[in-house]
């Protein structure tokens, strides 16, 4: 999908890899209507296989980037030269797929990937297909959408009688029926129950490991009960609840069965972080024990939260907002090396707010999965000479945050969170990430989710089932 497409043109110039933080902003200033410039910074992979290795488009661009100027370029010189270089290669076809670089920018495909080609649109006249009298294959068809809603939200096809009844309704009545069926089906076990559709959405965020599970369905080494995480995730997605609270909740959620019901709990015997330091599922027992584990500087926990809730995968060079003076390499892992620094200038300050959240402690089990003031000083002082200098403040999406609670609030209120949430449902219900030709509907949907709908998933779903991407056969 396109929201991650375009370079953070962390363009590498002759020799060592030089991350160029201004590149994404310069690209978007040059092409403000490019699909990847709506809501997020583009990724480095637009110009690179991996820094410093350039792809076909990056190679073409470098040849036009201030030719003859001494390398490395300063940020100021880079920013000045990049628009001219971009314009100079617009008419070229870097990947040989028949579309110019400019067309690929405008249509949201990748100019270095011959398999990423702008789709042809138009040429289909509504009602012109005599071989498919059931559906209008050229535009939104309420009958098709009706069948799809029942399958996607209730888990079963409509009966012949239901289809006949629906077909007899007028257009306004059909739209009202679609809304009513969506609301009915999202109360079903198929949608909200254990291992239902919402739980399926949560799998890559929680990353369950059965052998380590505590509580219900416990495994051989019961370390934490990740059903608590599923419960909070499902609660945040249902009814008129605020989806951001999956990252920001100060409470926990219980689940009752037959039928499945979720309810808020101020405490749970399986959760240990004090209320002042809670940040939804980011600070759950499972997240801390599994993603922090025995680590002094919890980079894995930070990158997992960034990927799971904001849709940005640093391993894929997405969401890089390099912070000046970073990385500091407090734990002496060698992250200041040129091949590492481009990512760690974002990842390390992203991780600092996790510094006092204990993972699994074998020597002090009573501190596991808790917020522990002076955690590094108490338990990790021998890791590296500077490890205790790690601050609790850091950066998220280029913005300073005082601690992990503020980290979660900034993340939950970002465009990235709204885009990632709607992308999850788009992929679940439509079957793929938004295609270039679907970008207008996708952008409208996530912007309304963040704005008009106040981060309420149930309201957003009523918009999503109205899109042509969903309802056009």
**426-459: pLDDT as tens digits:** 999 999 999 989 999 999 999 999 999 999 999 9
Per-residue pLDDT, 463: 98
Average pLDDT over residues 202-213: 98
Per-residue pLDDT, 258: 94
Global pTM reads 0.86
- pLDDT of 397 strictly over 70: yes
Using N-to-C axis directions, what is the helix angle for 415-430 and 457-464, rounded to 10°? Answer: 50
Distances (CA, A) of 386 to 300, 356, 374, 379: 20, 16, 14, 14
- pLDDT of 392 strictly over 90: yes
- Which residues face 401 on adjacent strands? 394
Average pLDDT over residues 291-320: 96
Pair 417, 411: CB distance under 8 Å: yes
Residue that wins the pLDDT comparison between 232 and 114: 232
DSSP string, 221-277: S--B-THHHHHHHHHHHSTT--TTHHHH-SSEEEEETTTTEEEEES--TT--S-GGG
pLDDT-derived band at 120 (thresholds 50, 70, 90) equals: low
Using N-to-C axis directions, what is the helix angle for 75-88 and 56-64, rounded to 10°? Answer: 110
- pLDDT of 11 strictly over 60: no
pLDDT-derived band at 51 (thresholds 50, 70, 90) equals: low
pLDDT-derived band at 126 (thresholds 50, 70, 90) equals: low
Average pLDDT over residues 374-400: 97
Percent of residues, the chain, with pLDDT higher than 70: 90
Distance CA 60, CA 46 (A): 12
Length of the chain: 473
Average pLDDT over residues 221-247: 98
Residue that wins the pLDDT comparison between 91 and 202: 202
Distance CA 94, CA 108 (A): 15
DSSP string, 156-215: SPPPHHHHHHHHTS-HHHHHHHHHHHHHHHTTSHHHHSTTSHHHHHHHHHH---GGGB-S
At residue 150, what are phi and psi to the nearest 5 degrees? -65, -40
pLDDT-derived band at 61 (thresholds 50, 70, 90) equals: confident
Kindly state the tokens that stand for 171.
């257009």
Task: Tell me which residue has tokens 């995968």.
Answer: 313
Kindly state the tokens that stand for 94.
């870097």
Average pLDDT over residues 345-356: 98
Pair 270, 224: CB distance under 8 Å: yes
Average pLDDT over residues 193-219: 98
- pLDDT of 129 strictly over 60: no
Helix (H, G, I), strand (E, B) or coil at 423: helix
Per-residue pLDDT, 279: 98
CA 198 to chain centre: 16
Least confident of 45-59, 220-234, 303-317, 362-376: 45-59
- pLDDT of 14 strictly over 60: no
pLDDT-derived band at 175 (thresholds 50, 70, 90) equals: very high
- pLDDT of 133 strictly over 50: yes
Per-residue pLDDT, 67: 86
Instruction: Choose among 297, 300, 305, 341: nearest CA to 323.
Output: 341
Distances (CA, A) of 207 to 105, 279, 291, 304: 35, 18, 10, 10
Torsion sign across C-alpha atoms 267, 270, 274, 280: negative
Per-residue pLDDT, 46: 81
Per-residue pLDDT, 16: 36
Distance CA 302, CA 322 (A): 15
pLDDT-derived band at 333 (thresholds 50, 70, 90) equals: very high
Per-residue pLDDT, 153: 98
395: enclosing H helix or E strand: strand 394-396
Reported as a single tens digit per residue, the pLDDT across 63-115 is 888 888 887 777 787 777 888 788 887 788 888 888 888 888 878 888 888 88
Per-residue pLDDT, 362: 84
Instruction: Choose among 247, 383, 259, 411: nearest CA to 321.
Output: 411
Per-residue pLDDT, 17: 36
Residue that wins the pLDDT comparison between 364 and 137: 364
In the Cβ-directed half-sphere of 440, how many Cα atoms lie within 13 Å?
4
Kindly state the tokens that stand for 393.
């403040």
448: enclosing H helix or E strand: helix 439-450
Reported as a single tens digit per residue, the pLDDT across 265-289 is 999 999 999 999 999 999 999 999 9
């Amino acid at each position: 999908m396109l929201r991650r497409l375009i370079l953070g043109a962390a363009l590498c110039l002759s020799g060592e890899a030089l991350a160029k933080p201004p590149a994404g902003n310069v690209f978007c200033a040059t092409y403000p209507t490019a699909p990847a410039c709506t809501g997020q910074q583009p990724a480095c992979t637009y110009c690179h296989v991996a820094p410093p290795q350039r792809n076909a488009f990056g190679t073409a661009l470098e040849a036009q980037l201030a030719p003859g100027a001494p390398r490395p370029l300063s940020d100021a010189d880079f920013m000045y030269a990049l628009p001219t270089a971009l314009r100079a290669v617009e008419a070229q076809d870097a990947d040989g797929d028949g579309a110019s670089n400019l067309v690929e920018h405008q249509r949201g495909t990748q100019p270095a990937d011959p398999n990423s080609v702008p789709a042809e649109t138009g040429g289909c006249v509504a009602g012109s297909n005599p071989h498919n009298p059931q559906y209008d294959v050229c535009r939104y068809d309420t009958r098709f959408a009706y069948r799809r809603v029942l399958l996607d939200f209730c888990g079963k096809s409509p009966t012949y009688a239901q289809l006949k009844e629906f077909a007899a309704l007028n257009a306004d009545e059909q739209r009202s029926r679609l809304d009513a069926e969506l609301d009915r089906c999202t109360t079903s076990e198929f949608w909200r129950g254990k291992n239902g559709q919402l739980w399926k959405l949560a799998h890559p965020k929680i990353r369950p490991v059965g052998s380590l599970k505590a509580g219900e369905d416990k495994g051989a080494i019961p370390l934490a009960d990740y059903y608590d995480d599923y419960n909070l995730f499902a609660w945040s997605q249902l009814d008129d609840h605020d989806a951001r609270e999956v990252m920001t909740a100060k409470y926990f959620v219980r689940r009752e069965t037959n039928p499945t019901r979720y309810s808020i709990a101020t405490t749970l015997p399986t959760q240990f972080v004090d209320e002042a330091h809670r940040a939804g599922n980011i600070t759950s027992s499972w997240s801390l024990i599994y993603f922090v584990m025995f680590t002094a500087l919890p980079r894995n926990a930070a990158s997992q939260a960034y990927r799971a809730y904001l849709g940005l995968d640093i391993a894929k060079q997405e969401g890089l907002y390099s912070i000046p003076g970073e990385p500091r390499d407090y734990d002496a892992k060698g992250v200041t090396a040129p091949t590492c620094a481009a990512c760690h200038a974002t990842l390390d300050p992203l991780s600092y707010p996790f510094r006092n959240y204990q993972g699994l402690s074998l020597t002090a089990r009573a501190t596991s999965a808790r917020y522990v003031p002076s955690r590094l000083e108490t338990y990790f002082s021998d890791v590296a000479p500077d490890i205790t200098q790690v601050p609790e403040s850091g950066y998220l999406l280029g913005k300073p945050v005082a601690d992990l609670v503020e980290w979660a609030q900034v993340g939950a209120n970002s465009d990235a969170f709204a885009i990632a949430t709607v992308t999850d449902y788009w992929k679940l219900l439509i079957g793929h990430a938004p295609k270039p030709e679907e970008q207008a509907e996708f952008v409208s949907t996530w912007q309304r989710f963040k704005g008009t709908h106040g981060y309420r998933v149930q309201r957003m779903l009523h918009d999503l089932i109205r899109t042509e991407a969903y309802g056009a056969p």
